[in-house]
A and B are shown apart, each in its own frame.
Chain A
Amino acid sequence: MKSLAPRLLAAVALLAIPAGASAHRQWLLPSVTTVSGTDSWVTVDAAVSNDLFDPDHMPMPTGGIKVTQPDGSAGEIRNAAQGRYRSTFDVQLDKPGTWKIGTFATNVSGTFKLNGEDWTVGRRRGPPPGAGAGGPGAAGPAMAGRPAGPGGPGAPNAAPARSVATVADIPAGATDIKLSESISRNEIFVTVGEPTDTVLRPTGKGLEFDPQTHPDDLVADEPAKFRFLIDGKPAPGLKVTLVPGGKRFRDEEGAQELTTGADGMIEVKWAMPGMYWLNVTATDARSSTANAGERRMSYTTTLEVPAP
């Protein structure tokens, strides 16, 4: 058995993925995105659900949440708590400028053969037998932390039994290794005073949000321009989904799907003021991991669009 820490990290990464992997939407909902004054805080709800922003399915684990302060240095979340349907946490906004709060998760999953048997790597497994869909077992960190490895096929009720947690656990002698890398981001932006750009600078890794209109400078009667990059280059032809919150109070979902142009840009016209969930996914073959034929990327953010 290897040490527990890497496994827990892998577990967090796995749990932070589902946005792109299922119909459920993973979301972060800040209490505020535009802040005046000093010593302000933002409190954030984090959950996975179908309707935005109604917590009615699973809480999002807060272990993978990172805070980037306006100067680019790391900050911290406070008062994290996990409820049945949502997690909450706070960030003390003690510096002026734009803060970034969210997850950046990478994961490699796939299959291989060992002695003629099929094995899986890094797969997020379904709920254990006996747990109903969406039951407590499905969300608890205990699930992904369950030991599993070549040396012992894991707990008796683990399914599938032949599974290893990470690429590093693939035993020597494995054949037919087929891997897929996933990179996902789910971020929100909160600005104290004047918006700044330090936390928006692209890193050049995976699918990134490169807004031409600052995400905390939106208003319902002005179109916004957002660019998306893959490995730092404009990404044309991506489908970007925008869903306004509050579906319970109207008939239609109101989602819009926009496709990035040759310059990787979309122009969004807001149907109404409110909080919007934005998601874009992309798949290519340019993984940095050996043996990974496919790379799946996902970017998610929540935008506040005030009335004029």
Chain B
Amino acid sequence: MRTTPFLLLGSAIATPAAAGTVTVTIPRLNVAEYHRPYVAVWLEPEGGGPARTIAVWYDIKKGGNEPGTKWLSDLRAWWRKGGRSLKMPADGVSGATRAPGRYTIPLPRDLRPGNYILNVEAARETGGRELVSLPVAVPNGSGKASGRTELGPVSFSR
């Protein structure tokens, strides 16, 4: 696998006490109709237990009869694991959808050290859905994985 250069210094300095940083890449896709994907990032304790949502990107501005929350359940794994019990918008967790590119997300400072499964799920209107999971050790571990269609490289580092 290609080594991904990490450009995390800015984020690491801004939040020195973060329990680690997740990097998520949204690939640029050559499709006729493109909409930015809904993305959820969450951690599950390795031995099972309640999931903790780190980030959710959805169409937070769309209101009316069909508000942006209508398609949150398209992130079906996240929805079942914990999304359905979150009230949206969620402080420090939810945000607008992102354009293709690479994004860094600091893990919450109060995250307890331990082994987790990091999950990143993306679902795109008129497009596909993909889930990338990798085991991570908080706070000192590192790891990387990659999606094939809706997600690019996903990594975790201190």
Contacts and interface: CB of A to CB of B under 8 A. Distances in A.
A195 B68 CA distance: 21
Interface range for B? 10 to 19
Contact of B84 (A38, A193, A307): A193
Interface of A is mostly: loop
Interface range for A? 10 to 19
A27 to B, nearest CB: 23
A37 interface: yes
A270 B3 CA distance: 39
B84 A36 contact: yes
A10 interface: no
A36 B71 CA distance: 7
A39 B80 contact: no
A34 B85 contact: no
A129 interface: no
A308 interface: yes
A219 interface: yes
B76 interface: yes
Interface in A15-61: 34-40
A39 B80 CA distance: 20
Given A193-B84, A194-B84, A194-B85, A38 B69 contact: yes
B128 to A, nearest CB: 12
A40 B67 CA distance: 10
Given A193-B84, A194-B84, A35 B73 contact: yes
Nearest to A41: B65
Nearest to A193: B84
A217 interface: yes
Contacts of B68: 37
Nearest to B67: A37
B85 A37 contact: no
B69 A217 contact: no
Nearest to A40: B70
A37 B85 CA distance: 12
Contacts of A219: 80
Contacts of A307: 76
A38 B73 contact: no
A213 to B, nearest CB: 12
B77 interface: yes
Interface in B113-158: none
A194 B85 CA distance: 6
Contacts of B79: 34, 36
B71 A306 contact: no
A41 B84 CA distance: 17
Contact of B70 (A36, A306, A308): A36
Interface of A: 34-40, 193-195, 217, 219, 306-308
25 contacts: A34-B73, A34-B76, A34-B79, A34-B84, A35-B73, A36-B70, A36-B71, A36-B72, A36-B83, A36-B84, A37-B67, A37-B70, A37-B72, A38-B67, A38-B69, A39-B67, A40-B70, A193-B84, A194-B84, A194-B85, A195-B84, A217-B80, A219-B80, A306-B76, A307-B76
Given A34-B73, A36-B83, 7 more contacts: A34-B79, A35-B73, A36-B71, A37-B68, A37-B69, A38-B69, A306-B80
